[in-house]
Amino acid sequence: MNIYDFKNLTDSIHASLSVNLSPTAVTIIEFIIIASAFMILFTLLGLVLVYAERKIAAFFQLRLGPMRVGKWGIAQTAADAIKLILKEPLVTKNADKFLFNLAPFIIILSTFLALGAMPFAKGLHALDFDIGILYLTAVSSFGVIGILIAGWSSDNKYSLIGAMRSGAQVVSYELSVGLSLLTVVILAGSLQFSEIIASQETGWWIFRGHIPAMIAFIIFMIAGTAETGRGPFDLPEAESELTAGYHTEYSGLKFAFFFLAEFVNMFIIAGIGATVFLGGWMPFHIGNWEGFNKIMDFIPSLFWFFGKVAFLIFLMMWFKWTFPRLRIDQLLRLEWKYLLPINLVNILVMAFIVLMGWHF
């Protein structure tokens, strides 16, 4: 039983608005509140994650990282954002201007739609579809169209190579992301996020699903990192060979949107991982240790969700600063000859476990 429920808050807002306003006006006001909340969340995530990335990278390399702007460099990313707004937007001479400007819209649209389906806390959930996981895989793979458009329209060979690599990579690893999530869907018996979380009240799927769930989690983290184009899988923007990959020609705020999308995508992958494998906002419980479970219940669900997400994001940053970048042939071999066959067998093993009723 969780004592912090955001449904009370949303219900009371709805009730207080409904007192002297028509239903249409209430809906519009609520939509505006939700839209502005997500916009603020989006910007905050960008600022915080970029700062965290730079600090963590610095500590991995025995540096201090940004230190000058604000205490411990906290305001560094805000200063960077202001700088990027003030930069001149450049477009190459022969670029396809319309597609060049369209690409940031598509990429941000994809991340925004995916962000909307995140279950942040108990009762704090904007889009709770019954096909939640299918929706998320569909929407998050939508961004690759933006990347391909960006690379193609900039009239730059480096951009083109980066975009093509990104297309092959995102498209390949999307299979593994989908299949590893399905391994847990077999256990939970639902695609809806709120039901998947509710089914984990007695324990997280990563522990209750035996070895197959753990294998699925590892595959999900590898494929998710690859799908965001980060870490050892950052060949679409390999700076030592391709300048900056598909966003070489972008400058100012348009470049910032590509950068922001990468970090928010990382949050989304970590969010899905935390929801499906680590119980979402469910607190950590051990069997029948009543006292321990009671103490865990006192930590609000919002903290549980963001704590798990922060842990997974830290893991992804750790990958990035530990492993060297893969070559394109290694990348495709890893997916098609290792992850995909392992994943297919893993699903069968999980189905067999469910069939025999061996799961907890």
Partner 1 sequence: MDKSALILFVISAIVIVGVGIILSWIVAPKSKNKVKEEPYECGIPTKGTSFIQFRVGYYLFAIIFLIFDVETVFIFPWAVVMKSMGMTAFIEILIFFVILGLGLLYAWKKNALKWD
- State which of positions 33-62 bind partner 1 (CB under 8 A): 34-35, 38-39, 42
Residue 284 CB, nearest approach to partner 1 (Å): 25
Q: Counting contacts by CB under 8 A, is residue 128 touching partner 1? A: yes
Q: Counting contacts by CB under 8 A, is residue 79 touching partner 1? A: no
Residue 51 CB, nearest approach to partner 1 (Å): 19
Residue 109 CB, nearest approach to partner 1 (Å): 4
Contact 269, 227 (CB under 8 A): yes
Q: What is the DSSP letter of 358?
A: -
User: In the set 57, 67, 74, 84, which binds partner 1 (CB under 8 A)?
Assistant: 84
Whole-number Å distance between alpha carbons of 218 and 250: 34
Whole-number Å distance between alpha carbons of 301 and 215: 27
Contact 237, 247 (CB under 8 A): yes
User: In the set 252, 284, 302, 310, which binds partner 1 (CB under 8 A)?
Assistant: 252
Choose among 323, 326, 317, 304: nearest CA to 236.
326
Choose among 311, 235, 301: nearest CA to 269.
311
What is the per-residue binding string for partner 1 in 272-311, x denoting contact by CB under 8 A? ----------------------------------------
User: Which positions from 221 through 250 interact with partner 1, judged by CB under 8 A?
Assistant: 243, 248-249
**Amino acid code (one letter) for 141:** S
Q: What is the DSSP letter of 278?
A: S
Choose among 261, 113, 235, 249: nearest CA to 169.
235
- Tally Cβ neighbours within 10 Å of residue 182: 20
Q: Which is nearer to partner 1, 195 or 297 (CB)?
A: 195
Whole-number Å distance between alpha carbons of 47 and 29: 27
Residue 56 CB, nearest approach to partner 1 (Å): 26
Q: Which stretch binds partner 1 (CB under 8 A): 17-25, 53-61, 301-309, 351-359?
A: 351-359
User: In the set 76, 77, 140, 172, which binds partner 1 (CB under 8 A)?
Assistant: 172
Beta partners for residue 119, in sequence order: 125
User: In the set 289, 311, 336, 358, which binds partner 1 (CB under 8 A)?
Assistant: 336
Q: Counting contacts by CB under 8 A, is residue 348 touching partner 1? A: yes
User: In the set 7, 63, 97, 157, which binds partner 1 (CB under 8 A)?
Assistant: 157
User: In the set 134, 296, 299, 315, which binds partner 1 (CB under 8 A)?
Assistant: 134
Tokens of 123: 């009762």
